[in-house]
Chain A
Amino acid sequence: MKAAAGWILLGVTVGAFGQTPPAGRVIPEDHRPPLFLRETWKDPGVQETPVKQEHLTNPNLELKLYGPGSVDVRIVHHQSPKDDPTYIWSGSAPANWALTLRDKNNYVDLSGPVAKIRWRTKEAGFHLLRPVVKLADGTMLVGDHVESYTADWLETEFSLADVRWRSLDPKEAVETRTEPGWKMNPDLSRVDEVGFTDLTRGSGGGPGGGSRVDWIEVYGHPVPRAAEPQRR
């Protein structure tokens, strides 16, 4: 009897672990999106210069800059330290700014729980780096995920499903005053541009206050722009 009970327990246990999901149920983790874009920036050949389209390594991407006036966000590479990466730096920005990347051929589907952004960053002062997305309908959003001061470069990864969003005014690169509050459940199924901002100005040359981004990766399913519904 004792031996029989053991076999029954084993059978129940195996049965529980061996369950298969109901037919048709999609397990998000089984469909993790591929790398949609990775941008590491070209070595500018000088210590620092305003970032331009020509500094992108990925030919499919377009650089977009937002903010008042002529946005002065730079691409930097120092000779020392030896492992200094080529990176975007906002310390030079005299006013608010945002930087995004746009794939020429595809939107990106960042909906679902496993679409994510990875980036390597280093913040100075009290600057806080945040993700930015531009949706297919032109809405720009800035997220509540932040990277804050670290003494060294830091790689982080976050799911966009965890992020809460607010409207971003692309002209001033501030939260949109006419659209306050959280933007709950935005449609991230067709994201036009992905990038970042720290919503403030830089401290100027040196390590006083600014944001640095060595590289950014976006994991999401491409959605061909050709599939975009015809607009009348």
Chain B
Amino acid sequence: MKSKLPVLFALVSYAGLAQPSAPARAPQDSPENHRPKLFFREEWKHSGIPEHPMSQESVATPNLEIKFYGEKPASSHPDGHAGDGGIWDNKRAQPLDDPSHAFTGTCNRPCGATFRDKNNYVDMTGFAKIVWRVKTEGFHVLRPMIKLADGTVLVGDHSDSYTPDWHVSDFTLYDLRWRRLDPERVVTATSNLAGWVTNPDLTKVDEIGFVDLMPGSGHGNGGWSDLAWMEVWGTPVKRK
């Protein structure tokens, strides 16, 4: 009996190995194989005036409309700063590599801006992402802001905070948690609209941009957010 055990073991092992193989599975098609393309890149069309209120004229991409939230860009005192407000369009002579950029230091109240493609919504699901080049000062943090096709305005929990120099930041919207934004006052929405928005429908995003939820410190280097350029990587969805 003892001498037959190895033979039996060998037969069982062979039978196991000889089982008909399962049908070959098709190679897995990873989401990474379908990364969305660049939907837009906006890097501002500067007027040549070093600092002035931002406007549609500041936008380089013809298909994009800019929308301002909160305090609107303004300068009612050409010789001073008393009437300055909202987001400004800056590019100074120094430093030499100063990029054209949006500047929120002039926001006396929280403010943000979004871009709206005239022809398309953008599908920001999956590996859709934002890449931007930013610089913030003081304790300011810059966050993504989106408007969905149903009009819901959201602000995300990704934030870029103080760095001594410009830096590029790249983040996937899939990772973010969102809160509703009150688009008039540019604060996180309250009452029954407060709290996290889980799994918002990002398949048709109408506008996409940035927001700083803190008022700026004014001109100078106290506290603000700067955005030099912004890229949105997502799939266009035709507007009807």
Contacts and interface: CB of A to CB of B under 8 A. Distances in A.
**Interface class of chain B by DSSP:** loop
Contacts, number: 111
B190 A174 contact: no
A177 B215 contact: no
A178 B139 contact: no
Contact of B185 (A124, A169, A175, A203): A203
A207 B182 CA distance: 13
Contacts of A96: 214-215
Given A177-B218, A204-B190, A209-B188, A126 B179 contact: yes
A208 B137 contact: no
Interface in A172-207: 172, 174-181, 199-207
Nearest to B214: A200
B193 interface: yes
Interface string B174-205: 00000100100101111111110000000000
A201 B109 contact: yes
Contact of B222 (A126, A180, A207): A180
A220 interface: no
B212 to A, nearest CB: 9
A178 B220 contact: yes
Contacts of B219: 177
A128 interface: yes
A120 interface: no
Interface residues of A, number: 34
Give the size category of B's interface with A: 20 to 34
Contacts of B218: 174, 177
Interface string B104-148: 010001100000000000000000000000000111010100000
A95 B189 contact: no
Interface residue SS majority, chain A: loop
A204 B223 contact: no
A208 B222 contact: no
A130 interface: yes
Contacts of B193: 208
A208 B187 contact: yes
A203 B190 contact: yes
Contact of B213 (A169, A176, A178, A200): A200
A207 B220 contact: no
Given A180-B222, A203-B187, A209-B188, A175 B217 contact: yes
A18 B188 CA distance: 57
Interface in A79-128: 91, 95-96, 124-128
Given A202-B187, A204-B187, 12 more contacts: A124-B194, A126-B141, A128-B139, A130-B139, A174-B138, A177-B219, A177-B221, A200-B110, A201-B215, A203-B190, A206-B190, A206-B194
